[in-house]
Structure 1
Amino acid sequence: MTENDASTLGELVEGCRAQMENDLCELFEELGPLLIQVASTRGTTSRDPAESKAAALLKLALPTQWERVASSLRANLAARTVHAPKSGYGSTDEENLRLLSAAEESVQFAMREVLDRVTLACRDETKPLERRINYLVLRRAMQPGDKTFNVAALWSCIEAACGEVTTSTDALILLLQLIGEQMATEMPQFYRVANETMIEAGILPSLKRSYRDTTPVDAHEVAEESTKVASALDRLVEARTKETGAREIPKSGTASQELFNSLKTLQAAPQTGTPGTHTNVVRMVRDSGAARDVKPLEAVTVDIVAKLFDLIFSDPNVSDGIKALVARLQTTVLRAAMLNQRFFADRSHPARRFLDSISVVAVRWGKVVNAEDPFYLKLSELVDKVQRTYDGDMAVFDSANAELDVFLTEREERDEQQNRALADAVLAREEEMRLKREAQARAQKMADACIARVLVPEAPVEIDEFLRNYWRDVVQNRISQSGEEGAPTAKALQVATDLLWSVTPKQLAGDRQRQAASLPALLSEIHVGFDEIGSAPAERKAFMDTLLDLQLAAMRAKKPGAAKAIAVARARPRSAGPTLQVGHATDIGVRVQDISLPASEGLDGENTPDRADLRRVRQLVRGDWVDFTTAAQTRRERLTWINRSRTLFLFSNSASPCAISITPEALAVRLKNGTAQIVKLDRPIFERAIHGAIKSLDQHA
């Protein structure tokens, strides 16, 4: 877009501004109840009498005054000019220079700290946005000095609006502090969308988002954390020194040869254990005779690493597949940490970078790891290589990091090409998809009615959910192709009937023989249906495993255990079935599931998207991950494309043969009913565990 005229660029900027201000105003309209709740909590828990009083004043004022704040903010934003704000913190106009009252000085002093916090939180998005704005200024799309996207200018509007709530200085300061906490979380999302919109328009496109993306890291934050970790280590070593009676704190790298020999033996031994459980080998080392005589620094290191793996193995957010990878590196991590305590305080340490890369790549899997995925296979290969060859030389980790970088770059380039081709195919038939949705709506109603006629009240909930979700899509697809009376549709409904019969308790020997004879054909037809709608292998396996258990229980109906299991399944709440329209098509060899929301007429409250969920969807950008759940099976997909009008999102994952195209309204409904969840990226597993282990030990030192 380097040759676009100022008018076109101006429209682009105005669109970004309008969305940012509208999202900010919507957020403020919804903040009232949360602020009332937080103020109430502060009032009862604060030990500061002044803060308790301020919180009590806010609790009384907010229910009646907050609506005025939201209205005032919208008016303030609408009245903004391209010049610096004329009121609030950050005002620089000469006409506003005057002596401030003590109350005003108090507010401005407190707000300086709040604004700094919000500005810092937004910095990773505002810095690249400023570069793009400067680029636009050169083409006269914006006037010099335009404060459209300036954090301080937006905060001035917020501050001025909040003056409507109370005349108490302390209460106003507390209110703005509480709002600042929310803005530090929410405002970066507004700037992310503005950046992404300009990237899509070709305004200084950034490097493509990669599998290595993680939470933003600030250099000052890293330095501060490293200092804190080093200080905590010093305290732990000093405490251990006093405990053991040592006269001086030894230098690093002095671990006893006996302990290293013990580590080598453990490192070479195959790791065994019950699937889903992981033995903390480091804790075994810590409790061994070889560890009793090590010096305080080594003893503290062993304690930290033992605690670190305790935290990882007990973390419910880490999948078993990743825990299995990590478990193979226990003795390697301990050796690396004992040879150089910089391991704990420095994220750039080669071993730390490799360990962090495991969790960064693992973002693409969620709770279920596909052991056949090329990404997992590569990580497993590198883990084995490191575990086998590490002898204290960091070059082993450097080599692993370099090899992983090359692999990720190659995979990302290949995935980027496939995603672009898929997006082009979806874009080319976007109008066709829009027109087909009307026919899909009719086919869906017919399919819902057909499934409802087949279902029986005593069906196990797992089968009920399967028929209402997966098999409903199969029936709908066949109705679209051959009509409700067509042979393929009749075949699909017969499969549904046979499936229900197969999980019904069999009292007669003849029925059991008939079931055994009919199962191969039934299972084959179910797989054909899965193929038609492009279900992922993990989803198929999960359902087939459940089906096998239910069918075995049905065959042994006279056994109390099986009967009880079926009774428990029937007692669980049932899904009412999907309201969203779902269609299926194949593009460039990838099965695309198209999901949309029917016309708003006739939708009940449960299937009408909430404004807050729609805003969350609008704030999604390319590279974000979303977990989609259908019939209790979850798969993680990445947002790889958004059309120019932001009316269609495309999600894909190279680990799955099926992609999802979905409208914002449909995605908002799925967020509302819990069948979709936006993935919030956390710090890498090892980083979280290291800080948690040191903090835990430091508290008990």
Structure 2
Amino acid sequence: MSTSSATKIVSINAGGRERSPGPRLVAECGEQLGDGLCNWLAGIRTEIVEELFVLADGTRDRHLQTRYLDLRHDLERDWTRFIEAFRHALAEQDGNAAGGAAGALEVPDFDGLQLIEDDELAERIVLREFAAQLTETCDAELYPLERRIAALLGHDEPRDGDNPLAPQPICQALLDAGAALGLDARDRLLLARRVERHLHQALPGIYRGINDYLAERNILPDLKRSYRRRPPATAAKSAAAELPEGAGDILGALQRLAAVRGGPGLLRALPVADAAALPASSVAASPASISHAFLASLNEAQHVDWQPTAGIAMNQVRALRDSAAAQQVSPLESVTIDIVAMLFDFIFNDADLPDTVKMLVGQLQIPVLKVAMLDHSFFANRQHPARRFLDGITGVALHWGSGAGADDPFQVRLAELVGRIQREFETNVEIFSAAIGELEAFVTAREEKEAETLSVAAEAAARREAEEAAGERARQALQPILERPQPDVVRDFLATHWAAVLRQKALLHPADAAPWQESVEVAEQLVWSVAAKAASDERMRLISGLPMLLARIKAGLSAAGIDGEARAAFFDALVELHAAALKGAPADGDSQAGAGTTPAAGEGDLLVTRHVEDGVTIEDVILVGAAPMRRVRDREALAQVRALKRGDWVDFIDSDGRIARERLNWVSPHKGILVFSNHRAARAISISPEALARQLRDGAARVVTEESVFGRAIDGVMQSLGAA
């Protein structure tokens, strides 16, 4: 933990062991996690049992169909007991995690080892799979949470197994809860898989709430999530642990090709299996081991300005491959040059990569070649400083979409960093580490500026959501009143002007508050007042109550800002209606509201409105007049929307084919309204889930997949070499 970060948290262990505020706060967070998950589980019971019914209905295997239906019956009967068992199991997982760090280092008792049953082994495998997938989904939320938990436990950095709130204990608790219901292994896994599918949508929000809770208590309140997670490397880890699965493939291909050129002796000297397991320093070369003449030629080429030819990126490495100096290098160096040249071929031919990124990466061809020749683990190790900087360019490129202007702040900053590396890099790769640190700090600063736009847009979206909820409450309150027999003029008044009064009251008061109830009562009294009064006591009641009723109507209209002309026309009509009612005659135009006259909804239309608040242009997009989206592709698009999480990027494509790339920065906790923004302008898009799903379905929007530029090129090289 940096000194600056450490000074921004409360001293949580200064009070001695008796107070133990750190573990206490961790325990409170565990309770918050349990409460959030249990409340969420209570709400998905219907979806789970319906999914099991669909599974049963869709299979012809009678045995499997019976299993699905039996599990559905058990859950319908025992869902509350399942939730309580889950809560208990999760609490036990938290308790075990508290002492797990010490126990993990103990030497195991090999005398007690025994074979694992097939069902138990299957559970362990699925548990690990579920936990890994949820960890990936919640990556943005777990990054700050793990650091806050580490701070509470008095650690400088997060440690494996220290976070009792991680996805793994949650997945284990789900399986344990199924066991508590008496489910066998197959049913436990089936249930866990159904729940896990929904958990991907719910868990990030619960984690965000816990992060907010800790930040409010001054636990790393200023911690900012960088745009790319970077797990810390420790001296105790070997390169084999740090490299991703399959990391030895490209190293092996490199050595096999070198062996072909240099003879079998080289292959025996550098066995493939050993190369993947050796520490990175063992794979690295030294500047002295590289051909002096070729290294000198690289240094000379590095300081020559690289310019694309006719707007097309030129592969500088491939041109160097044919130089006289390159002909004198060793077989291993020769193969390294060829592979780097192939990498840049794939990068320059990548149709999904903006030209701005290609131009920036193109300036790094010679530094990258030097890095690869100095350290062959560069190809496989994603944590290598040069790889991280190249991947950082990819992350920043997400802000650009189809391109960036010369004055784009990200473009300017990246160009400065790339230029510095091109000018100053010799053999010390720490220049890449410094560049990625500066880039991360720059991105964080820009995101803080963007947060100002987000704040305005999020407040506007929340206000719009509140207005929609108020309108819905007014509609529900008026619906039974409008269905009663009444003159059309009264029904029109209630449906328009008095609905506006009720919307205003709903914004200001809850449903059990007197001002709201009185406003609903006025609508009921108005309908009663224009009905024919046959009995004398009804006529006296109308005469005595009329002044108060009219005063309350006028007060409500004034508060809602209804114009005087509309009010005057209604009150003129009301005089005649009340006169007729006192005579016991039904008013002209009395009618019963028609039922079933609402036209059938079809595809619906996207309604786009724009307004400016505090200098921020907000574009509101909703879907109106649409039937429930039941077609397969509509459901798939809506599921795609629900899978989005904060930080994801979406391209919005207008009718002229212009693309605006926006990042999801806020999701309403009530109706799921999504707010997108970007650093380029004080502009935001506030869009309903149904509207975004329609745009995704129709190709007017698309979710952007974040991929590493260099990782994609590496995959292409491996396929070309036949080693993938």
Q: What interval of TM-score do these two structures reach, taking the shorter chain for normalisation?
A: 0.5 to 0.7
Whole-angstrom CA distance in 1 between matches of 2:665 and 2:365 = 36
1:412 aligns with 2:447: yes
Q: What is the letter of the counterpart of residue 651 of structure 1?
A: F
Distance verdict in 2 for CA 1:289–1:391, change over 3 Å: same
Residues 251-272 of structure 1: CA distance to partner in whole angstroms, max 9, x if unpaired? 5532223323433444314322
1:581 aligns with 2:616: no
Whole-angstrom CA distance in 1 between matches of 2:30 and 2:226 = 32
Rg larger in structure: 2
Q: CA deviation at 1:119?
A: 2.3
Q: CA deviation at 1:627?
A: 2.5
- Among 651, 659, 662, the alignment partner of 2:676 is 651
Q: CA deviation at 1:652?
A: 0.9
Whole-angstrom CA distance in 1 between matches of 2:151 and 2:50 = 34
Matched residue SS, 1:365: coil
Q: What is the letter of the counterpart of residue 389 of structure 1?
A: E
- Among 195, 207, 213, the alignment partner of 2:227 is 213
- Among 98, 102, 120, the alignment partner of 1:108 is 120
Q: What is the letter of the counterpart of residue 623 of structure 1?
A: G
Residues 594-652 of structure 1: CA distance to partner in whole angstroms, max 9, x if unpaired? 11233xx6637579995665555445443232222332333221222334534433211
Whole-angstrom CA distance in 1 between matches of 2:182 and 2:633 = 29
TM-score, scaled to structure 2:
0.57
1:625 aligns with 2:652: no
Whole-angstrom CA distance in 2 between matches of 1:596 and 1:359 = 32
Q: Which moved more, 1:418-427 or 1:108-117?
A: 418-427
CA contact (8 A) 2:134 2:200 kept: yes
- RMSD (Å), alpha carbons: 5.3
Whole-angstrom CA distance in 1 between matches of 2:64 and 2:412 = 55
Q: Which moved more, 1:12-21 or 1:117-126?
A: 12-21
Distance verdict in 2 for CA 1:696–1:28, change over 3 Å: farther
The answer for the alignment partner of 1:193 in structure 2 is 205
CA contact (8 A) 2:651 2:701 kept: yes
Distance verdict in 2 for CA 1:31–1:303, change over 3 Å: farther
Greater relative CO, 1 or 2 (CA 8 Å, sep 6+)? 1
The answer for the alignment partner of 1:229 in structure 2 is 247
Extract unaligned runs of 5+ from structure 1.
38-56, 92-102, 137-143, 439-575
Residues 203-244 of structure 1: CA distance to partner in whole angstroms, max 9, x if unpaired? 778878968424686978982525853575256325513532
Whole-angstrom CA distance in 1 between matches of 2:207 and 2:697 = 27
- Among 123, 128, 152, the alignment partner of 2:172 is 152
The answer for the alignment partner of 1:502 in structure 2 is none
CA contact (8 A) 1:626 1:679 kept: yes
CA contact (8 A) 1:592 1:659 kept: yes
- Among 259, 276, 280, the alignment partner of 1:241 is 259
Aligned residues: 513
TM-score, scaled to structure 1:
0.59
- Among 610, 616, 631, the alignment partner of 1:590 is 616
Extract unaligned runs of 5+ from structure 2.
1-20, 94-114, 153-163, 271-284, 474-601
The answer for the alignment partner of 1:360 in structure 2 is 395
The answer for the alignment partner of 1:375 in structure 2 is 410
Q: What is the letter of the counterpart of residue 119 of structure 1?
A: A
Q: CA deviation at 1:660?
A: 0.7
Matched residue SS, 1:326: helix
Q: What is the letter of the counterpart of residue 84 of structure 2?
A: V
Matched residue SS, 2:427: coil
- Kindly report which structure 2 residues correspond to 1:462-501, keeping only aligned pairs within 5 A, or say none: none
CA contact (8 A) 1:190 1:619 kept: no
Matched residue SS, 2:619: strand
Whole-angstrom CA distance in 2 between matches of 1:417 and 1:653 = 11
1:638 aligns with 2:663: yes
- Kindly report which structure 2 residues correspond to 1:416-495, keeping only aligned pairs within 5 A, or say none: 416-427=451-462, 431=466
1:119 aligns with 2:131: yes
1:79 aligns with 2:97: no
- Among 394, 403, 421, the alignment partner of 2:438 is 403
CA contact (8 A) 2:638 2:693 kept: yes
Q: What is the letter of the counterpart of residue 259 of structure 2?
A: T
Matched residue SS, 1:272: coil
Whole-angstrom CA distance in 1 between matches of 2:337 and 2:56 = 45
Residues 14-34 of structure 1: CA distance to partner in whole angstroms, max 9, x if unpaired? 555444565697478569999
1:296 aligns with 2:335: no
Q: CA deviation at 1:358?
A: 0.4
Distance verdict in 2 for CA 1:433–1:319, change over 3 Å: farther
CA contact (8 A) 2:313 2:348 kept: yes
Q: CA deviation at 1:431?
A: 4.4
Distance verdict in 2 for CA 1:120–1:430, change over 3 Å: closer
Distance verdict in 2 for CA 1:63–1:288, change over 3 Å: farther
- Among 702, 720, 723, the alignment partner of 1:677 is 702
CA contact (8 A) 1:240 1:296 kept: yes
Distance verdict in 2 for CA 1:159–1:115, change over 3 Å: farther
Residues 104-140 of structure 1: CA distance to partner in whole angstroms, max 9, x if unpaired? 932222222221222233345679779999999xxxx
Whole-angstrom CA distance in 2 between matches of 1:282 and 1:32 = 60
Distance verdict in 2 for CA 1:654–1:135, change over 3 Å: closer
Whole-angstrom CA distance in 2 between matches of 1:130 and 1:23 = 28
Q: CA deviation at 1:382?
A: 1.8
- Kindly report which structure 2 residues correspond to 1:377-392, keeping only aligned pairs within 5 A, or say none: 377-392=412-427
CA contact (8 A) 2:453 2:683 kept: no
The answer for the alignment partner of 1:257 in structure 2 is 292
Whole-angstrom CA distance in 1 between matches of 2:676 and 2:49 = 30
Whole-angstrom CA distance in 2 between matches of 1:148 and 1:297 = 43
Whole-angstrom CA distance in 2 between matches of 1:32 and 1:314 = 49
CA contact (8 A) 1:423 1:650 kept: yes
The answer for the alignment partner of 2:353 in structure 1 is 318
Q: CA deviation at 1:319?
A: 2.3
Distance verdict in 2 for CA 1:602–1:375, change over 3 Å: closer
Distance verdict in 2 for CA 1:426–1:307, change over 3 Å: same
Whole-angstrom CA distance in 2 between matches of 1:404 and 1:416 = 18
- Kindly report which structure 2 residues correspond to 1:549-588, keeping only aligned pairs within 5 A, or say none: 579-588=605-614
Q: What is the letter of the counterpart of residue 308 of structure 2?
A: T
Matched residue SS, 1:292: helix
Whole-angstrom CA distance in 1 between matches of 2:46 and 2:150 = 26
Whole-angstrom CA distance in 2 between matches of 1:365 and 1:437 = 39
CA contact (8 A) 2:343 2:713 kept: yes
Distance verdict in 2 for CA 1:395–1:593, change over 3 Å: same
Distance verdict in 2 for CA 1:643–1:286, change over 3 Å: same
CA contact (8 A) 2:606 2:623 kept: yes
Distance verdict in 2 for CA 1:8–1:374, change over 3 Å: closer
Matched residue SS, 2:84: coil
Matched residue SS, 2:605: coil
Distance verdict in 2 for CA 1:24–1:218, change over 3 Å: farther
Matched residue SS, 1:309: helix
Q: CA deviation at 1:379?
A: 1.0
Q: Which moved more, 1:616-625 or 1:378-387?
A: 616-625
Distance verdict in 2 for CA 1:375–1:116, change over 3 Å: same
CA contact (8 A) 1:425 1:588 kept: no
1:693 aligns with 2:693: no
Q: Which moved more, 1:577-586 or 1:230-239?
A: 230-239
Matched residue SS, 1:596: strand
1:280 aligns with 2:305: no
Q: What is the letter of the counterpart of residue 711 of structure 2?
A: E
CA contact (8 A) 1:304 1:690 kept: no
**Identity %, equivalent residues:** 33
Q: CA deviation at 1:365?
A: 2.6
The answer for the alignment partner of 2:384 in structure 1 is 349
Whole-angstrom CA distance in 2 between matches of 1:127 and 1:24 = 30
Q: CA deviation at 1:375?
A: 0.8
The answer for the alignment partner of 1:461 in structure 2 is none
Distance verdict in 2 for CA 1:16–1:245, change over 3 Å: closer
The answer for the alignment partner of 1:271 in structure 2 is 307
